[in-house]
Amino acid sequence: MTSKLTHKRILAMILVIIIGFSGGIFIKTMLRVGEGEDVDITAIRQANEALLEEKERYDALQAQNADLEDRKRILLRRFEDYEDTGGILAELRENAWLSGMTDVEGKGIVLTLDDKLDYDPLVDPIESVIHDSTVNYVVNLLWSGGARAVSFNGVRLTSVSEISCVGPVILCYGIRQMPPYVLEAIGPVDAMRDVLEKDSYLAHLTQSKIGIRFSVNTEEQMLLPSFSRTHDILPYINLLREP
Amino acid sequence: MKKKWIQYASILIVCVFVGLAIALLMKNLNLINVGDTSIQELQNQIIDYQKKNEDLNNRNTRLYEYLRELEEELASGRGESYLHIVEEKEQYALFAGLRAVKNAGVVITMTPLEGYQMQDAVVRQFVNELSALGAQAIAVNEERKVATTEIRTSQDMILVNGVSYDRTEPFEIKAIIDPGKIDSYVVPYLLSISDNIKKQLADDSLTIAIRKDENVLIPALNEDRIAYQMELLEPVE
């Protein structure tokens, strides 16, 4: 009899907790629905899931791209057995090299650019944030210093390097880039460092009043990815006709 | 009896509060889990990844088709694949700026007035704007812009691909660009850039003329330019 009573009490307690729980959700929903918070949380969660899916797809596509490029290399090597394709293949490799369509290795520098720490648009000058013109300026300095290959935030720069901005956001080939901005350059290290260190505009940007954060590190061996690791070239040459 | 009811009522109230507390706690955990990234930022990131995925997917699809053709050819003998390799080689040459090209585009002519010396920053600004507008080929004074092109002042000269141009002479920038956008967007935009540059410089500095050209001819990169010197790079095999 006592045991039966205890069971009933436990059941009643669970029931009451469930009622309380439901009531809590109901009250919370009623209180917040006007502010749209539930809608936001659901939307953010869905967006996070969608982003994760896209990231996973990107990783899978990159892995697939690496496999295909490896297979291509192996297949092209087999064509070398044919007598008259050797010259064409050599030319293909040189053109791929010159166009940024092959991974390259070499000694170089890694340069990091970042906005002023705790940038305040009401107090700090507009130069305290990195603009597309700042990135283009530094890229031009690197070429002046003899850089042979440059990548911007992991994307290889080519003859049609599109570094632009929409509002405060810097785009590279139409893809948004976030600070810190990393430029990797293979080339004559001393000459490149020299050009950067002696540049008066960079010195101006990095003074404490402007506050652009800037660092340069030397790498004995670095690998810059082919443009084909991230993009297809056809949309960048489809307007070009031979005379 | 009364005491018993008070006990039941107390338990009831406590349980209701426990339930409420659990519900509120779960809500707060939900808030923490979604992080502090705004929905707008997340949507932008999704769009970025979608674009990246689309580009890479297109590249992989073409590469897959190309490999299939090579494999078929290797299995059956010779012929078409040879042409595919040549086609790919020519695409790379076009992309690298190793071939002369033509199509509709724009021509920007900057003429320094008496006593004014052209600034490299002005030339660079137009070149960068054209790149951002999607120009597929650009030349400065008949010098093809390639990946390694630098534009910089050296005393009375401006160097482009290591070639010197007198700063008191006119500079001409030519670009091949989407014909569908030239009249509606490209030329008006470049004119606004031109106005901004003129405002920054003194009135008697330079004249800037911008025109559409149906037949812009952009030369190939000259073979003695620095871009051909690849001795510091090792291709990854």
Which residues of chain A form beta strands (DSSP E)? 104-114, 149-152, 155-156, 163-166, 169-172, 175-177, 181-186, 213-224
> What average pLDDT does range B2-9 have in this prediction?
74
CA dist., res. B41 & res. B55, Å (int): 21
Kindly indicate the confidence band of residue B208, based on its pLDDT and cuts at 50, 70 and 90: very high
**pLDDT value of position B173:** 97
pLDDT digits (tens, 9 = 90+) for B155-183: 999 999 999 999 999 999 999 999 999 99
Token pair of A117 as six digits = 């720490």
Residue A193 CA: distances (Å) to CA of A185, B226, B227: 11, 19, 20
Q: For chain A, first and last CA: distance in Å?
A: 102
List residues bridging with B143 in a β-sheet: B140
Contact indicator for A211, A108 with CB cutoff of 8 Å: no
| The pLDDT of residue A228 is above 80 | yes
**pLDDT value of position A213:** 95
Q: Do B132 and A164 touch (CB under 8 A)?
A: yes
**Which residue, chain included where needed, has tokens 């049609």?**
A160
pLDDT digits (tens, 9 = 90+) for A151-198: 999 999 999 888 988 888 899 998 899 999 999 999 999 999 999 999
As a dihedral over the C-alpha atoms of residue A203, residue A209, residue A215, residue A216, rounded to 10 degrees, the angle is 0
Rounded to a whole number, what is the distance in Å from the CA of B111 to chain A's nearest CA?
A: 23
Contact indicator for B101, B218 with CB cutoff of 8 Å: yes
What 8-state DSSP symbol labels residue B186? I
Q: Do B43 and A47 touch (CB under 8 A)?
A: yes
- Amino acid symbol at A156: R
**pLDDT value of position A156:** 95
Count the alpha carbons within 13 Å of B82 in the hemisphere toward its beta carbon: 12
CATH of domain A105-229: 3.30.70.1880
**Which residue, chain included where needed, has tokens 């001795």?**
B231
| The pLDDT of residue A76 is above 90 | no
Kindly indicate the confidence band of residue B9, based on its pLDDT and cuts at 50, 70 and 90: confident
Kindly indicate the confidence band of residue B119, based on its pLDDT and cuts at 50, 70 and 90: very high
Q: Checking phi first, is residue B162 left (phi over 0); if not, alpha (psi -120 to 50) or beta?
A: left
Please report, rounded to a whole number, the percentage of residues in chain B having pLDDT higher than 70.
88
- Chain A residue at shortest CA distance from B8: A9
Contact indicator for B171, B110 with CB cutoff of 8 Å: yes
**pLDDT value of position B24:** 62
Indicate the helix (H) or strand (E) that contains B103.
strand B101-112
Predicted TM-score (pTM) of this structure = 0.78
Query: What ipTM was reported for this prediction?
Result: 0.77
Phi, psi of A175 (to 5 degrees): -105, 135
Higher per-residue confidence, A241 vs A1? A241
Kindly indicate the confidence band of residue B87, based on its pLDDT and cuts at 50, 70 and 90: confident
Phi, psi of B188 (to 5 degrees): -55, -40
**pLDDT value of position A45:** 86
Token pair of A43 as six digits = 């939307």
Which A residues, 54 through 83, put their C-beta within 8 Å of a C-beta on chain B? 54-55, 57-58, 61-62, 64-65, 68-69, 71-73, 75-76, 78-79, 82
Which B residues, 45 through 104, put their C-beta within 8 Å of a C-beta on chain A? 45-46, 48-53, 55-60, 62-64, 66-67, 70-71, 74, 78, 81-82, 85-86, 88-89, 91-103
CA dist., res. B112 & res. B109, Å (int): 10
Q: What is the CA angle B184-B186-B190, rounded to 5?
A: 125
Kindly indicate the confidence band of residue B23, based on its pLDDT and cuts at 50, 70 and 90: low
> What average pLDDT does range B30-56 have in this prediction?
79
From chain B, the residues in CB contact with A97 under 8 A are 230, 233, 235
